[in-house]
Chains A and B, each alone.
Chain A
Amino acid sequence: MNQYDVIVVGAGNAALAAAVSAKENGAERVVVIEKAPREMRGGNTHWSGGVLRFAFDDPREIGELLPDVEDEFENFYDGVSPYSKEDFHGDLMRVTSGRTDPVLSKLLVHNSFETVKWMKSVGGIKMEPAITLSAVKKDNVMVWARGLVVRAEHEGVGLSRSWFATAERLGIEIRYGTAATELLIGDDGRVNGVKVRDDDGMSVLNARSVVLGCGGFEANVQMRTQHIGPLVGAAKVRGTPHNQGDGLRMAMNVGAMPWGQWSGCHATPISADWGEFAPRELTDRSNRLSYVYGVMLNRKGRRFVDEGEDGALFTYAKFGRAILAEPGAKAWQIFDSRVVHLLEPRYQTSKPITANSLEELVEKVDFDNRDQALKTLDEYNAHAREMDDGFDPTKKDGLTSRGLAMEKTNWALKIAKPPFYAYSATGGITFTFGGLKVNETAQVIGTDWRPIKGLFCCGEMVGGLFYDNYPAGTGLVSGATFGRIAGRSAAAAN
């Protein structure tokens, strides 16, 4: 009963794409090994925004994914600009400083639209326009961001749910609460099974091929500290607590080659209201990125960055790390009632500390030095500007403070109108960039530069795509693209 055609380790978007693809391509007995129990299933996918970045030449082609979109939005297609393969690849190159793997990145870009169509047709993933997060309001009309038009209906939760429903419908066995602990390799050099641990103890599952799709090491404090450094070692985890680098270690134990930026990860300022792991029901809504409209104070009551240096998109990564370097790895973001409506909707997941005066606010917040905090706010207000001076939240408004030791160079509006709000912030890690070397069939390559027979990988475990940063919406499409390829290759290897 423990003999399968394909074993898939992990149960997020990439892993379930691999399982569905393996089944679609002729593997009969496919099993998904999910370490998490049923109520925590689905890996980081559950926590994701569900956004899908893909290349298309004619906006009307998107109609296949969003059949009823014109009923809802009249001039929908007029608003969307084409996003060519060159555009997509250019964006990947730009944000990774030209270091993205040339072969894998092209594979991703060229397959991206086909992958998303497959997610819908075979994967049963419902999709919707990504309007609330991708469209930006300008001159009273909405402008679509480049390449980000579609998301899974109900975001990562919906995406995960749909994948599980499809896997179950196709007769793919899903074993919850089952952790793969070791890859088994035969004398012929072929990976032929996994050792697993579940409530009943240890057992062995055999198969002709194994697909690893069980994520990076973002939830593993030892690996974070070792590979990324002590600052990110102290970060809170935004997603699943189960991505502990198990798959990476198991694969390297049978000779797989590490690849990509092992010192790199996606990390951002998030709420400090929770423990080491953000609660599952808050999904991706842990981010605290609207600091541009206020000030950030550390526990000593001092500012430590120019909050308005640039739009949050360009500062979040370094500010996330900056907060981690402050005492207690914690900061407070302070806003007044004139800007509180500008905060990202994700701020709803915290209850701010509120007060009718700055004195009262400072009393309520756990600053180590309250006098300094009040002094900092008073100093800031003495040099900050008025609404009428040209405050404009829709662009870099150039409204800079005048005369502070560390100026706030945009959106430097006084924090003047009660009530006042304080939101906690710390640094949170989303996922890691370090992975394994794979070839174009998603087969894992060994440190001897030979492919390892019977071993494939996908998702966060694919090394070499992302360095320093990644374009939003690429992670899921990469996951599904390499998952689909890995499943097909694994089925063919039988």
Chain B
Amino acid sequence: MNAVSSSKTSPEDVSAELTLLQNLAQRVHAFEKRQLTQLAIAQARACILDAIGVTLAGYPEPCTQILLKTPGVATALGLALIFGSARHTSVLDAALINGTASHALDFDDFSGVMGGHHSVPLVSTLFALAEERGGTGEDLIAAYVIGVEVEIRLARAVNFHHYDKGWHPTATLGIFGTAAAACHFMKLDRAQTAMALCIAASLASGLKANFGTMTKPLHIGQCCRNGLLAALLAEGGFDAATDAFEHQQGFLNVFNGPGTFDTAKLFENWGAPWEIEAKSIALKQFPCCGSTHPAIMMALQLRREDKVKAADISRIEVLPHGRRLRHTNTPHPQTPLDAKFSVQYVVARALRYGVLRLKDFEGEAHLDSEIQRLLEITTASPHPDMADDAEDQWGAEVIVTLKDGTRLARRVDNLVGRGGDNPMSSSEMWDKFNDCASRSLPREQIAPLFERLETFEKVTEIAQVVRLLEVSELHKAPAKKVVFAPRGAHEAEETTWVP
């Protein structure tokens, strides 16, 4: 590359001569840490922290475990950790496993514009690279931000035709973000970055037909691995067609089809603002179907602000927007999966316990007798004031009638995840992270990990943070029920614990 001319020429001046992916690569390459705004850093930090949490939650899931046991997977030697274990492997395999785990529960953040999840294609890949090659929190955040930019910019150009046609944008668009972020982190030059994106175009995959199965999170593992592979190949001098995106038989025409995309949107108002700064970037607060979240929030508000106690309730009316109710209208959930798609169940839990945790969707939690009682007095129907074709489609109202006849209600017109003007608070972030991380990590590692991730942009060596994601096998004590000695049976001695 020609460093002298690149410093004098802005991307716009030469864009006409470049293919789309070359133009994109040039912008990725030109992005520098000093362009990170405070808002971009704060948003990226929250999303990365959340992604680490959901990855730890996804580690014990069958999709992750079956993948790990598959012959030849994660057997390569390397420095990259499989989060929540003591196992290290190659960056490619770590990206595959951690990437799959990160989406296993569908509990990760999302972008409405993308029609998908913007963080999971990036975080597993970047952490694996950082472990192998070293790097600071700020380096990783910069790579993450430009990765999000690429994903969502592409989405602006191809959605929602792309989504409606049946592609899984988190994977099919995410892979370009993965490759771009990896190239940025590895400091590849413009030509290499463009090559990586062009290779990635041929590795994109993921069909919505497989939603609801283990193959959906596998899309993300593959996206993380293949996007990284594209970057590593490009680094080594691999080639691909520079017009792989707009070619007659390239990504746009094959995945979308002629006339179903608008490439002008790729670069329009580039960086003003950055996509990560958008209000449509949102976190998922509760481990159940997103369509139930507006109703859950209303139930929690009733409990917190009006001090509603479950025992005093004689009737619960749940009135979500019709489009939110159709797939969540499950008055009597029979399985944990049913419970995730039961607006009645989650509202009852929110009113009774004030929290929703992963364990509420495991085992026989849905048969909890107090919840069963509340389900008997719960009804759900589409909100009469919220039209199917209204602009806001994520509203809900919850009305509670107390035994003394008092009627209390809370209503929200549109609540899509937590972000924008309604971000999760630090303590809400902690509650979710702690719940997620507890599935894989020893308790004493969780709070220090959260604390480090909360100021991730100041981390000087990411490998240090990753140590807190490792679970030592050497000292794993079998969990046993604790039985205390009766008082007086033993003299209480001074502790043997040393501060």
Residues of chain A at the chain B interface (Cβ within 8 Å)? 37-39, 46, 48-49, 51, 59, 73, 75-76, 78-81, 83, 91, 131-136, 138-146, 148, 154-155, 157-158, 161, 165, 266, 268, 279-285, 287, 289, 311-313, 316, 340-341, 343, 345, 347-349, 352, 421, 430, 471-473, 475
Q: Are B493 and A145 in contact (CB under 8 A)?
A: yes
Contact of B495 among A146, A266, A348 (CB under 8 A): A146
Q: Are B474 and A281 in contact (CB under 8 A)?
A: no
Most chain A CB within 10 A, of B452, B486, B494, B499, is at B499
Instruction: A141 to B452: give the CA distance in the assembly, Å.
Output: 37
Q: Are B499 and A475 in contact (CB under 8 A)?
A: yes
Asked whether A37 and B458 contact (CB < 8 A) given A78-B487, A134-B497, the answer is yes
Contact with A along B443-459 (1 / 0, CB 8 A): 11011110110010010
- Where chain A touches its partner, the secondary structure class is mixed
Closest to A475 in B: B499
Instruction: A138 to B483: give the CA distance in the assembly, Å.
Output: 10
Q: Are B499 and A472 in contact (CB under 8 A)?
A: yes
B3 interface residue (CB < 8 Å to A): no
Q: Are B474 and A154 in contact (CB under 8 A)?
A: no
Q: Are B487 and A289 in contact (CB under 8 A)?
A: no
Instruction: A162 to B495: give the CA distance in the assembly, Å.
Output: 26
Asked whether A143 and B464 contact (CB < 8 A) given A76-B484, A472-B498, the answer is no
Q: Are B484 and A142 in contact (CB under 8 A)?
A: yes
Contact of A312 among B444, B449, B486, B498 (CB under 8 A): B498
Closest 6 CB pairs of A and B: A79-B484, A39-B455, A145-B495, A154-B447, A157-B447, A348-B472
Contacts of A287 in B (CB 8 A): 498
Contacts of B449 in A (CB 8 A): 281
Q: Are B494 and A131 in contact (CB under 8 A)?
A: no
**Can you name 22 A-B residue pairings with CB atoms under 8 Å?**
A38-B455, A38-B458, A39-B455, A51-B497, A79-B485, A79-B487, A131-B482, A134-B495, A135-B484, A136-B496, A138-B485, A145-B494, A146-B492, A148-B497, A161-B430, A281-B449, A281-B467, A312-B496, A313-B494, A340-B475, A345-B442, A472-B495
B14 interface residue (CB < 8 Å to A): no
B213 interface residue (CB < 8 Å to A): no
Q: Are B452 and A133 in contact (CB under 8 A)?
A: no
Instruction: A265 to B474: give the CA distance in the assembly, Å.
Output: 32
Tell me, rounded to whole Å, the shortest Cβ–Cβ distance linking A201 to chain B: 22
Contact of A279 among B430, B464, B495, B498 (CB under 8 A): B464
Tell me, rounded to whole Å, the shortest Cβ–Cβ distance linking B58 to chain A: 22
Instruction: A471 to B442: give the CA distance in the assembly, Å.
Output: 27
Closest to A430 in B: B499
Contact of B448 among A80, A283, A312 (CB under 8 A): A283
Asked whether A161 and B451 contact (CB < 8 A) given A133-B495, A281-B467, the answer is yes
B490 interface residue (CB < 8 Å to A): yes
Contact of B444 among A38, A266, A280, A285 (CB under 8 A): A285
Closest to B450 in A: A157
Q: Are A81 and B487 in contact (CB under 8 A)?
A: yes
Q: Are A143 and B490 in contact (CB under 8 A)?
A: yes
Tell me, rounded to whole Å, the shortest Cβ–Cβ distance linking B28 to chain A: 28
Closest to B485 in A: A141
- How many residue pairs bridge A and B at CB < 8 Å? 147
Asked whether A144 and B447 contact (CB < 8 A) given A348-B472, A472-B497, the answer is no
B1 interface residue (CB < 8 Å to A): no
B477 interface residue (CB < 8 Å to A): yes
Asked whether A313 and B455 contact (CB < 8 A) given A75-B484, A140-B483, A345-B475, the answer is no
Tell me, rounded to whole Å, the shortest Cβ–Cβ distance linking B479 to chain A: 12
Instruction: A80 to B430: give the CA distance in the assembly, Å.
Output: 31
Q: Which size class do B's interface residues fall under?
A: 35 or more
Instruction: A132 to B480: give the CA distance in the assembly, Å.
Output: 12
Tell me, rounded to whole Å, the shortest Cβ–Cβ distance linking A420 to chain B: 12
Q: Are B499 and A81 in contact (CB under 8 A)?
A: no
- Where chain B touches its partner, the secondary structure class is loop
Instruction: A352 to B446: give the CA distance in the assembly, Å.
Output: 22
Contacts of A471 in B (CB 8 A): 494
Tell me, rounded to whole Å, the shortest Cβ–Cβ distance linking B461 to chain A: 9
Contacts of B173 in A (CB 8 A): none
Q: Are B485 and A143 in contact (CB under 8 A)?
A: yes
Instruction: A285 to B475: give the CA distance in the assembly, Å.
Output: 14
Apart from A136-B496, A157-B451, A283-B444, 7 more pairs, CB < 8 Å: A51-B497, A51-B499, A78-B484, A134-B495, A158-B447, A281-B464, A472-B497
Contacts of B482 in A (CB 8 A): 73, 131, 135, 142
Contacts of B281 in A (CB 8 A): none
B232 interface residue (CB < 8 Å to A): no
Instruction: A146 to B493: give the CA distance in the assembly, Å.
Output: 6
Contacts of A472 in B (CB 8 A): 495, 497-499
Instruction: A35 to B496: give the CA distance in the assembly, Å.
Output: 34
Tell me, rounded to whole Å, the shortest Cβ–Cβ distance linking B464 to chain A: 6
Instruction: A312 to B495: give the CA distance in the assembly, Å.
Output: 11
B468 interface residue (CB < 8 Å to A): yes
Asked whether A145 and B452 contact (CB < 8 A) given A154-B446, A281-B464, A348-B472, the answer is no
Most chain A CB within 10 A, of B427, B458, B475, is at B475
B465 interface residue (CB < 8 Å to A): yes
Closest to A81 in B: B492
Q: Are B487 and A316 in contact (CB under 8 A)?
A: no
Contacts of A141 in B (CB 8 A): 483-485, 489
Closest to B459 in A: A39
Most chain B CB within 10 A, of A59, A75, A421, A471, is at A75
Contacts of A73 in B (CB 8 A): 482, 484
Tell me, rounded to whole Å, the shortest Cβ–Cβ distance linking B276 to chain A: 21
Instruction: A345 to B498: give the CA distance in the assembly, Å.
Output: 13
Instruction: A131 to B477: give the CA distance in the assembly, Å.
Output: 14
Contacts of A475 in B (CB 8 A): 499
Instruction: A73 to B475: give the CA distance in the assembly, Å.
Output: 24
Contacts of B484 in A (CB 8 A): 73, 75-76, 78-80, 135, 141-144
Contacts of B492 in A (CB 8 A): 81, 83, 143-146
- Which residues of B (283-308) have their CB < 8 Å from a CB of A? none
Asked whether A161 and B494 contact (CB < 8 A) given A138-B485, A266-B499, A348-B475, the answer is no
Contacts of A46 in B (CB 8 A): 451
Closest to A352 in B: B474
Q: Are B452 and A280 in contact (CB under 8 A)?
A: yes
Instruction: A340 to B473: give the CA distance in the assembly, Å.
Output: 11
Q: Are A78 and B486 in contact (CB under 8 A)?
A: yes
Q: Are B496 and A138 in contact (CB under 8 A)?
A: no
